[in-house]
Amino acid sequence: MGYLLVHRGLLPLRRLARHAQGIGVSNLAERLDSHGAPKELLPMIDSFNTMLERLAKGFVQLGQVSTDMAHELRTPINNLLGETQVALQQQRSIESYQQLLASNVEELERLARMLDNMLFLARTDPASALRQRQALDAADEVERIADYFEGLAGDVDMHITALGEGVIWAEPMLLRRALANLCANAIKYGAPGSELSIQAVPDGAGINLRVSNHGQTIPAEHLPRLFERFYRVDESRERSAQSNGLGLSIVATIMQLHNGRYRVSSEDGVTCFELFFPGREA
Q: Which pLDDT tens digit goes with each residue over 24-82?
A: 777 777 787 777 677 777 788 788 888 888 787 777 766 766 676 676 677 778 888 88
Residue with more model confidence, 61 or 2: 61
- pLDDT(5) > 50: no
Spatial contact of 200 and 164, defined as CB atoms under 8 Å apart: yes
Residue with more model confidence, 66 or 218: 218
Taking residues 70-96, what's their average pLDDT?
Answer: 82
Strands 167-170 and 206-214: unpaired
d(CA 37, CA 45): 9
d(CA 145, CA 40): 53
d(CA 270, CA 153): 17
187 Cβ neighbours under 8 A, 6+ residues apart:
149, 152, 153, 156, 158, 196, 213
User: Which of 27-36, 110-119, 190-199, 224-233 has the largest mean confidence?
Assistant: 190-199
Buried-state track 217-236, b at ≥16 Cβ within 10 A, e below 16: ebeeeeeeebbebeebbeee
d(CA 239, CA 88): 30
Worst-scoring range by mean pLDDT, 8-12, 36-40, 169-173?
A: 8-12
Taking residues 245-259, what's their average pLDDT?
Answer: 87
36: left (phi over 0), alpha (psi -120 to 50) or beta: left
Buried-state track 62-79, b at ≥16 Cβ within 10 A, e below 16: eeebeebeeebeeeeeee
d(CA 112, CA 66): 16
d(CA 164, CA 200): 4
d(CA 175, CA 251): 9
Share of the chain above pLDDT 70, in %: 83
pLDDT band at 240 (very low <50, low <70, confident <90, very high): very low
* Whole-structure pTM value: 0.66
Taking residues 96-108, what's their average pLDDT?
Answer: 86
Confidence (pLDDT) at 243: 54
From the list 94, 196, 126, the residue with the least C-alpha distance to 155 is 196
Residue with more model confidence, 19 or 148: 148
Taking residues 206-216, what's their average pLDDT?
Answer: 95
Spatial contact of 271 and 259, defined as CB atoms under 8 Å apart: no
- pLDDT(125) > 70: no
